[in-house]
Structure 1
Amino acid sequence: MGAAHPTPPPPGTPAPAPVPPKLRARGLARSFGRGAHALPALGPVDIEIAPGEFTCLVGPSGCGKSTLLRIAAGLLRPSAGELEIRTASPRPAAMIFQDYGIYDWKNVLANVRFGLDIQRVPRREADARARDWLARMGLSEFADAYPAALSGGMRQRVAIARALAVEPEMLLMDEPFAALDAQLRTILQDELLDLTQTTRTTVLFITHSLEEAILLGDRVLVMSARPGRIIAEHRPPFDRPRTADIRATTEFTALKAELWDVLRGEVRREAVPA
C-alpha cells in the first residue's frame, strides 16, 4: 500500500507564515588585539538555526568555533556583524563546556539547582526540578555527593542536567565529550541523542568528531581554517527519531568520508600556515 498523501488546502488558503530562526548571525567576525597586531579569529560568518534544530559545527583547531559559541552565549562581543537569539524567555541559552564547569564546593543537587537559584526560583520548586533532571540523567543517588567523588562522565551529566534544569530555549555545547574516553563518549552521545530528540531543544554543538556530528546533527556545518568561515553544509540523511545504529550504515560512512574530503585541506592549512 502506498503512502497517504496530505489533503491539499482549499484554494485561496494563505500559506503558513515562515518560522523565524532561533539564532541568526550576519557578517559575524571577531579579532583579538588592536591595530596592526589584530589577529582575525572568526568570520565573516552567516548562520541561521531553526527552532528545535540540532546544528553541529566542525572545523580545524583554532578556526574560531568556540569564539562563535562564546559570542552566542554573550561571553564575547563581536568585532563586526551581529548575532541574535530570538526568544521570549529570561534565559534564552545555556552553555555546557568541555571542562564541565561545575563547582567543586557544591554537592550535585546544589550544582544542578544553581541556575534556578540565580533566577530566584523558590527553593522547593528548584529542588523538585533539579531532582527531576538528576533522575533523567541517572544521578538521583548522587544528589548529596560532591564532584570529586564522580567520574568524568557523571560530572558531564551533572553539567547537562544543570543546563537543562533552567529550561533554556537553546543549548550551546562546546566539545562537551572531548575529555572523556572513547567508550564513555559513545555512551553520552547516545544519551544526548535520546534526550534532545525528546525535548526538541535547539542546539549549537561544537565538535572535532565527524562521527559525533553526523550522529547528533540535523545539520553539519564545516568551518575553514582561521579566520573561520562556513565553507560547507551537509544534512545527515537519517530520519528522526534516529538511533545510534546509524553508525553501522553505509550512508554514515559515506558522509563521514565526504566531510573529511572538505575538512582535510583546512586542517593542513591550519597546521602549516602560508
Structure 2
Amino acid sequence: MGDPHPKLHATELTRTFGRGDRTVRALGPLDLSVAPGEFVCLVGPSGCGKSTFLRIAGGLLRPSTGELAIRTTPAPDPRLRRVARPTAMIFQDYGIYDWKTVQANVRFGLDIQRMPRREADARARDWLARMGLADFASAYPATLSGGMRQRVAIARALAVEPEILLMDEPFAALDAQLRVILQDELLELTQTTRTTTLFITHSLEEAIVLGDRVLVMSARPGRIIAERRPPFPRPRSGEVRSTPEFTALKSELWELLRPEAVPA
C-alpha cells in the first residue's frame, strides 16, 4: 500500500520532444508516489528521462500527457510569498551565481520570498555554519573548490525550507573521495531535516547509501521497472557500505539495470 497522502504523485506522466517524424518519446508513461519525508533515488541509463522528470517536478518543463501533483502546506510565516512550486533544485553544475558572495547566494531564494533582510541574513548564516562555510560568507564562488561550491548550492536550496528537494546528480563532477564525504554529509543533513527528496544518480552505491527507496528506470522512454528498499534502518551512516547486504543489493540492482544500459 502506498502513502494515502503522498507529497508528490505522478500519474501516467509522459514527455515528448519535437514534432512529426522527429518526435522523441523521452519519458513515460511514469507513475510514482513519494511520501512526506521520504528520500527516493532514481537510477537508470543515460538518456532515459530521469532529468526530464525532475524538471517537470520542479516546474521547469510541462508534461506532454498525464499529471503531477504536489501536496503543499501553508507557509508558516504569512509574510512570506510562496513561489509557484514549493521545490528547490540542485544541479550537477552547482547553479550558483559567480557575481554574488557565498552569503548572497544562500540568501537568494529568501530574497525571492521577500523575507526581511535581517531574518534572511540570519538564516543564511545559520546554513553556512551547518555546511562548514561560515568563514567564506564574503567569498565569491570562483575562489571555492568544487565541493565547497556544491555545499553552497545545498545550503541555498535548504535555506528556503522547500517542500521537496530535487537533486540532479549533484556529486557527479566531484572526485571519489569528496563524493563520499558529501554523501555522508547529505545523509546526516536530510535525516535531521526530513525533507522529502528526489535524487537522481548513476551511482548505485550512492542510491543505496542515501535512499529509503531505489527506483530503477528503463531505457528511453523511461518507465519505472523495479523498486528496492535498502535494508538499513534510519538513522544510518556511511558504514553500511561495508556490509554484505550493501554488496548484495548493489549486485541485484546492477542485474536489473544492465539490460537497460546496453545499447539496442
TM range (shorter): over 0.9
Letter paired with 1:104? D
The CA deviation at 1:37 is 1.6
State the SS of the aligned residue for 2:139. coil
Partner of 1:105: 99
Equivalent position to 1:49, from 15, 18, 34: 34
State which of 37, 58, 68 in structure 2 corresponds to 1:83.
68
Written as runs of structure 1 = structure 2, the 5 A alignment for 1:138-149 is 138-149=132-143
User: 2:112: which partner in 1?
Assistant: 118
1:180 to 168, 174, 181: 174
Query: Residue 10 of structure 2 aligns to a residue in which SS?
Result: strand
Counterpart Cα distance in 2 of 1:24 and 1:170: 12
Q: 1:10 matched to which residue of 2?
A: none
Residue matched to 1:242: 236
Match of 1:12 in 2: none
Matched, 1:131 2:121: no
1:72 aligns with 2:61: no
Instruction: State the distance in 2 between where 1:167 and 1:19 align.
Output: 23
TM-superposition CA deviations, 1:170-201 (whole Å, max 9, x none) = 10000000000000000000000000000000
- One-letter identity of the residue aligned with 1:221: L
> Which segment is superposed worse, 188-197 or 34-43?
34-43
Alpha-carbon separation, structure 2, partners of 1:177 and 1:117: 26
Distance (Å, rounded) in 1 between the aligned partners of 2:254 and 2:24? 27
Distance 2:27 2:4 in 1: 28
The TM-score normalised by the length of structure 1 is: 0.91
Secondary structure of 1:221's aligned partner: strand
The DSSP-based 3-state class of the residue aligned with 2:126 is helix
- Two-structure CA RMSD over aligned residues (Å): 0.8
- The Cα shift of 1:36 comes to 2.4
Q: How far apart in 2 are the matches of 1:42 and 1:175?
A: 18
Give the total of aligned pairs: 253
Structure-to-structure mapping, 1:1-40, within 5 angstroms: 19-40=4-25
Unaligned segments of structure 1, at least 5 residues: 1-17
Residue 98 of structure 1, CA deviation: 0.5
Taking the aligned partners of 1:84 and 1:169, their CA distance within structure 2 comes to: 13
Letter in 2 for 1:108: V
Q: Return the letter of the residue paired with 2:45.
A: P
Note the C-alpha offset of 1:19. Answer: 4.5
Aligned sequence identity (%): 78
Question: Is the radius of gyration larger for structure 1 or structure 2?
Answer: 1
> Using the alignment, how far apart are the partners of 1:25 and 1:252 within structure 2?
29
Give the superposition deviation at 1:35: 2.1
Which residue in the other structure is 1:212 paired with?
Answer: 206
Residues 132-157 of structure 1, C-alpha deviations (whole Å, 9 max, x = no match): 00000000000000000000000000
Q: For structure 2, which runs of at least 5 residues remain unmatched after alignment?
A: 76-81
- Deviation at residue 48 of structure 1 after TM alignment: 0.2
Counterpart amino acid of 1:254?
A
Paired amino acid for 1:101? G
Match of 2:78 in 1: none
4+ residue runs over 6 A deviation:
none
Shift of 1:255: 0.1
Distance in 2 (CA, whole Å) between partners of 1:210 and 1:65 is 15
Deviation at 1:34, TM superposition (A): 1.1
